[in-house]
Amino acid sequence: MTLGTPYEGRLWLVGGAVRDELLGLPAPTDLDVVTDLDALELARLVHESGASGPPVVYPRFGTAMVRFPEANLELVTARSESYGRESRKPWVRPATLEEDARRRDFTLNAILQNVHTGQVADPLGVGLSDLQDRVLRTPLDPAATFDDDPLRMLRAVRFRRRFGLTPAEGLLDAVKACSDRLAIVSAERVRDEFVRMLELPNAALCLQDLLDLDLLRFVVPELADAVGVEQGDHHHCDVWGHTLLVLSATDPRDLTLRLAALFHDVAKPRTRTVEADGRVRFFGHETLGAEIARERLRALRFATDQVDEVALLVRNHMRLGSSPRFTDTVARRLIRAMGENLDRLFRLVRADIAGHAPGVPMVDVDAIEAIVARVRRETPMETLDSPLSGEQIMSALGLAPGPTVGAAKAHLSELVIRGELSPLDQAKARRLLDAWAKRRAGNRHPK
C-alpha cells in the first residue's frame, strides 16, 4: 500500500499495539501509526488506492482515522503540543519522532515499531526498560504530563492495575497535586476511563487508588462518603470496604452488574440510624440509592437503558429478603418487576452476601432461585399481564385514554400475579373489571 512511496520505512506503530505485543497480549483492534511525514496525505493515498473508505481527518492535529474491516487505523503526523491553563485544546506544530514521544502519556506507550521492517525503536531511551521492569513513568515531569491532559491521571490508575506496574518516584505525588485539573475533562472521557477500570478483574484496587489519590470526587463523589461508615455486627468492614468486596465478587464482563454493585449501598451514609438497642439500620437506602445512581450515571453520560437497569437493580437488591415467606405470588411479582434483569439480581445478591462477615445468617438465595425457576416454567413472564388490553378495557368501561385505564389494567395484572385470574381468561377478566369499576364508583360517590 505504501511501498514505493516516500512513506516506505517511515511509518511506525505506537502505543497499545506495540506495548501489548511486547507483553505477549492480544493485539488491539484500534491501531495508532505515527510518521514524520504528512499523515493526512497518507490517508488520502490509502483511500484512493481502494484499501479503505473515506478517512475522517482532523487537520488541526494532523491526524486522520482510516477504517478497515479488521481494524481502525489512526494516522498521526509527529507533533509537539502546548496547552493553555484552562483548555484541553493544544497548540500544535510538526515535530520529530522523539518530540512526539515526549508528548505521550507514559514511556511504555511511546515505544515504536516500524510497519515495514518490524524494527522496534525507543525514542525516549527508557520505554523498553520500563516495560521490562514494570515501571509506570511519564516522558516529562509527571506534573507537566498530567497538567497537559488531566485524563492521564485516571489512565495512570488503570495502567498501574492492569499491568501490575510500580509508579516511578514522584508520579503519585504529582497525581495528588494535579487532581483539581481533572475538573476540566469532559464527563464522556471520564466515563470511558472509569468503564475500562470496572472491566478489570481487580477494579476494586482502581477504586481504592481513586480514593487515595483524591480523584474519586471527580468520578463518583458520593462513594467517598462510605468511608468509615460502620454497619453493625453482621459486617466486618465499613460501607466502603463492603462495597469493594461486593464489586470484586461480580463478573467484570457484566458492566451493568458491576455498576449496580458499586452503587447498591451508596445511600447508606445518608440513611444510617442507630436504634436504642444499638442496632444499626439503613431504612430506605435501596430507594435513595437508586436515585443517587441514576443521577450520577446520567451526569457521566451513560446510556439511558443502562442507567435504568442499574437503578432497577439497586432499588431491588434487598427484595429477596423482604417477605417473611417467599410464595409463588411473591415470585411472580419479582419476575414481572425485574424482567430480563432477574438473573442479574440473583448475581448481585450473591455478591452482596459474599461481602458480609462469614457465618452471618443471610437470605437463602438457592431456595428462592429454585422457587422462581419453577414459577417461571409454569408461568412465563410474558403471561404475567392483564388478559385485557388497554383498548379492550376502554371499550368495556366506555373510557377515554387516561390514568383510570392504567389503574384498571394494573388491577387485572395484580390478580394474575396473585393466581386469582388466568392470563388467558378474558371472560372472567371482564366480570372482575366490571366489579372493580362499580366498587371504584361507589367509593367515589358514597350514599
Residue 341 maps to which CATH number?
1.10.3210
What does the pLDDT look like over 293-320, one tens digit per residue?
999 999 999 999 999 999 999 999 999 9
Among 209, 109, 208, 215, smallest CA distance to 157 is for 209
Any idea which residue has 506495540 for its cell? 18
pLDDT of residue 187: 97
Regarding whether 413 and 363 lie in a shared domain, the answer is: no
Answer whether residue 270 shows pLDDT above 70.
yes
Give the chain's mean pLDDT: 89
pLDDT range class, residue 447, cuts 50, 70, 90: very low
Regarding whether 344 and 288 lie in a shared domain, the answer is: yes
pLDDT of residue 82: 53
Any idea which residue has 509527529 for its cell? 78
User: Which residue range(s) make up the domain with 413?
Assistant: 390-444
Answer whether residue 91 shows pLDDT above 80.
no
Regarding whether 269 and 167 lie in a shared domain, the answer is: no
**Structure-model confidence comparison of residues 324 and 360, the more confident one:** 324
Among 309, 316, 214, smallest CA distance to 258 is for 309
Cβ-contact 211, 205 below 8 angstroms: no
Regarding whether 113 and 14 lie in a shared domain, the answer is: yes
What average pLDDT does range 256-280 have in this prediction?
Answer: 94
What average pLDDT does range 268-287 have in this prediction?
Answer: 91
What does the pLDDT look like over 376-387, one tens digit per residue?
888 776 667 788
pLDDT of residue 85: 55
Regarding whether 147 and 81 lie in a shared domain, the answer is: no
C-alpha cell of 331? Answer: 415470585
State the pairing for strand pair 72-77/30-35.
parallel
Answer whether residue 79 shows pLDDT above 50.
yes
Answer whether residue 2 shows pLDDT above 60.
yes
Q: Which region among 61-65, 167-171, 254-258, 377-381 has the lowest average model confidence (pLDDT)? A: 377-381
C-alpha cell of 157? Answer: 490508575
pLDDT of residue 3: 62
Regarding whether 378 and 229 lie in a shared domain, the answer is: yes
Regarding whether 189 and 236 lie in a shared domain, the answer is: no
Regarding whether 85 and 129 lie in a shared domain, the answer is: yes
Q: What predicted TM-score, i.e. pTM, was given to this entire model? A: 0.85
Cβ-contact 124, 110 below 8 angstroms: yes
**Of 185, 219, 253, at which residue does a domain stop?**
219
**Of 113, 133, 153, at which residue does a domain stop?**
133
Segment (H or E) for 120? strand 120-121
What does the pLDDT look like over 7-16, one tens digit per residue?
888 899 999 9
Regarding whether 176 and 293 lie in a shared domain, the answer is: no
Regarding whether 405 and 306 lie in a shared domain, the answer is: no
- Domain count along the chain: 4
Convert 66-94 to b/e letters by CB count within 10 Å (16 or more is b).
Answer: beeeeeebbbbbbbebeeeeeeeebebee
Regarding whether 267 and 407 lie in a shared domain, the answer is: no
| Alpha carbon distances (Å) from 46 to 66, 79, 288 | 8, 21, 54
Say which CATH number the domain at 72 has: 3.30.460.10
Q: Euclidean distance between the first and final Cα of the chain, in Å?
A: 90
Regarding whether 119 and 27 lie in a shared domain, the answer is: yes
Q: What percentage of the chain has pLDDT greater than the value 90? A: 57
**Of 87, 117, 133, at which residue does a domain stop?**
133
